[in-house]
């Protein structure tokens, strides 16, 4: 093995080791804080209207031709992983899910909200209608690929989300209070910098979204990630000083109109 190749392999190994070590430290912080791991009053919780068990069947092979056949048959080629360091890792199972079911959930929830919601998933064999359940597990959709023109789901990656799991989640932001914001009422406009924020979340309390309250923001003021109000068991994985939004002065076009 050449020196350059050895150095590259060592560097990648070190990066993986450091990533796992950082995750273990974050996991210890969450466990040591030992908050009540339930949804608390005053924080968003998943709407039970969209509680749904995603049905899946085993898939023996992967590849472009297999995926094409699956899609033509009304199925979405998918992968189910064990979570490692809060993301996806080992214990891979090839599955297919129903195109219509995934399309319906994505349309109702929105893409970002679909990717921040924990679902029950049943792997049935040999068909979706079968009573033979190979695996029943809670999952978090990790990746979703949609067709650029039709928004049809092309691939979905899930990670297992048992109660003891810690998951890295890009949680969507929902902006509220814009109707009474002093700055916006003066004719300023909202510069939305972030649409999602990454948190390390216990699987039992993954927030469907985080509210960003604009009601007290005046012209020129901003909110940063450290200002967001979340469950105390969530750990921010980005800088607290990163800006989320800012109330900007009136647009030039608006000034000319006035």
Residue 3, both tokens: 């020196």
Q: 235: which DSSP letter?
A: E
Q: How confident is the model at residue 12 (pLDDT cuts 50, 70, 90)?
A: very low
Residue found by looking up tokens 């995603």 in the block: 54
Ordered domains of the chain (ranges, CATH): 48-162 (2.40.240.10), 167-250 (2.170.120.20)
- pLDDT tens-digit readout, 220-248: 999 999 999 999 999 999 999 999 999 99
pLDDT in tens, 130-189: 999 999 999 999 999 999 999 999 999 999 999 989 999 999 999 999 999 999 999 999
Residues sharing a CB contact under 8 Å with residue 219, sequence separation 6 or more, in sequence order: 182, 183, 186, 188, 247, 248, 249
Residue appearing with tokens 């994505």: 106
Edge to edge, the sheet with strand 243-248 lists 189-192, 243-248, 222-224
Q: Are 247 and 221 contacting, i.e. CB atoms less than 8 angstroms apart? A: yes
Q: How far apart are CA 233 and CA 214, in angstroms?
A: 24
Is the predicted pLDDT of residue 23 greater than 90, yes or no? no
93-98 vs 75-81, strand pairing mode: antiparallel
Name the pTM for this structure.
0.81
What is the distance between the alpha carbons of residues 119 and 182, in angstroms, rounded to a whole number?
40
């Amino acid at each position: 093995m050449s020196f350059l190749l050895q150095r590259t392999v060592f560097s990648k190994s070190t990066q993986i080791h450091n990533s796992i070590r950082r995750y273990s430290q974050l996991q210890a912080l969450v466990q040591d804080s030992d908050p009540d791991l339930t949804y608390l009053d005053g924080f968003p919780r998943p709407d039970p209207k969209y509680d749904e068990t995603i049905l899946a069947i085993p898939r023996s092979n992967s590849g472009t031709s297999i995926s094409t056949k699956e899609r033509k048959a009304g199925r979405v080629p998918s992968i189910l992983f064990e979570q490692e360091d809060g993301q996806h890792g080992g214990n891979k199972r090839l599955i297919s899910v129903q195109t219509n079911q995934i399309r319906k959930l994505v349309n109702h929830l929105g893409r970002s909200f679909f990717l921040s919601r924990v679902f029950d998933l049943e792997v049935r064999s040999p068909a979706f209608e079968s009573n033979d359940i190979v695996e029943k597990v809670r999952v978090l959709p990790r990746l979703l690929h949609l067709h650029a023109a039709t928004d049809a789901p092309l691939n979905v990656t899930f990670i297992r989300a048992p109660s003891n799991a810690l998951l890295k989640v890009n949680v969507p932001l929902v902006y509220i209070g814009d109707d009474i914001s002093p700055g916006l009422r003066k004719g300023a406009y909202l510069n939305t910098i972030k649409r999602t924020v990454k948190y390390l979340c216990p699987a039992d309390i993954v927030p469907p979204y985080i509210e960003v309250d604009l009601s007290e923001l005046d012209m020129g003021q901003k909110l940063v990630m450290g200002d967001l109000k979340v469950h105390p068991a969530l750990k921010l994985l980005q800088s607290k000083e990163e800006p989320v939004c800012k109330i900007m002065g009136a647009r030039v076009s608006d000034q000319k109109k006035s």
